[in-house]
Structure 1
């Protein structure tokens, strides 16, 4: 090998490493992941609430975790009604860094009942920022380079107590002239509550509480066509019975299975009825006109009909100014039996 060729090859061997170093310095995306450009979108998950089929009531919290090669810039949450496709405004989450690449996020969703003016023509209806229904929570996680990832999870929201329509006991009634003694249903070896419930979700609990000594009996998961029975051989029957056969004064409560999910308390009772109706009191002007317990429940929840089905048509009619609807609404208001002062059920004999 001549001297000139040797020098040429030696220069190539010396220059090649320098060229490689320059290329890697100018193009960091080809370097290791720790020092490269973030080209992967962030990851994440929703970890709370883990409600399953249990509805959420009141204001609530949604929280989760996120990770990225770089860092998490923001997390926002939007709720979309599954039936109507209407979306809420976005809620910005609080993001707390856990480690170099991971963060925890949490967002508070306010959902308290809005006050109504005194002259509201529909005083029994409720209005919430997020109405009852099924929703998809859409969580958008954004990293510091602007790349986004969307996470979704479905929830139920329910802030409306069950509509409670009692057939028996019929409480205290009098003939129209008001001169006869009060008539009270009587029972023998079995005491029962027969009723209907207007409720989208699960009717979880019927409570019967004595007003004199606060003794309470409970029937659970009783369905929407209620026939709760208490036999004379049970302790619950004895709690309700006066040994001298005199009337027992009680309060009746019906609750669904909704729960509060505020990141501190996931227990407690569901939405509990504030009043009930005697079926005979509302049958002619309400039930017989096609306003079913389910329609009344949706009306109380502030919902409107969104289709051409019978339920939607009758629901929208109940909101209208038609004479039939006005009469029905008046009956629903005037015939309420408020739970704090329910007349006595029949004596147990």
Structure 2
């Protein structure tokens, strides 16, 4: 984004972009431009803002980027749902391994989906989920919105989800997702080249309560699958666990629910990046519309929340409060 100084606040009135990996830089600056809608997501939005001189002024100056708007919270407060999976071998020949091991079945399924949008790949195997809470005596503070909100989610799926599918065997996976983490990460840059990728630090499980909650959830998943109803189906746990905490810390990954890197805050608050109308603070001409504006992560998948933000933004842009 490019900035003009026609008022006491800087106004952004142009967008610089490339369509050939930076060989040429083009500028779009229509004379009737009312505002720029920035919707690049929780990773891309802070990346663009930082490269436009919006962020911590001292850090930008150190990099050699001229600060335009001093908003230290740009890229801070990154929050995501960490996940970790347990895999069991099962007495079942219809798990998703039958699909991944059969090139003919894959081709037939793709052809059916292409023709009719039906068949094996028209649905998801991740369609059984459960939500639960951690034992109250284990928590030093309530990390969720209230005492009825789930702390973790269990996602049950037929099959194994790894980059390399085992040549033999059939599997069942339970993915444990921490819904109300207290750990916070960051999106930063270390280059003045906007085409260089940002530095993403999810900082998973850095808060001690998060690892306690995650261990509780994993043990809960194991207890669930050990129920008598599973005895003729589940054969054995194949996930190698020697030290549960170490295993979780080494292998926990992202659910791709990143939020809060351009957090919304009250108009007069000294923190945050956008105001309640999604307008960039301390500047004019930019409105942010994506998951980055959420000040905290929902105890749920983020898709519905992003829909709500988009609907609200549409009303604001049209002038309806």
Q: TM-score range by the shorter chain?
A: under 0.3
TM-score by length of 2: 0.23
TM-score by length of structure 1 reads 0.21
Structure number having the greater helix percentage? 2
Q: Choose 1 or 2 for highest CA Rg.
A: 1
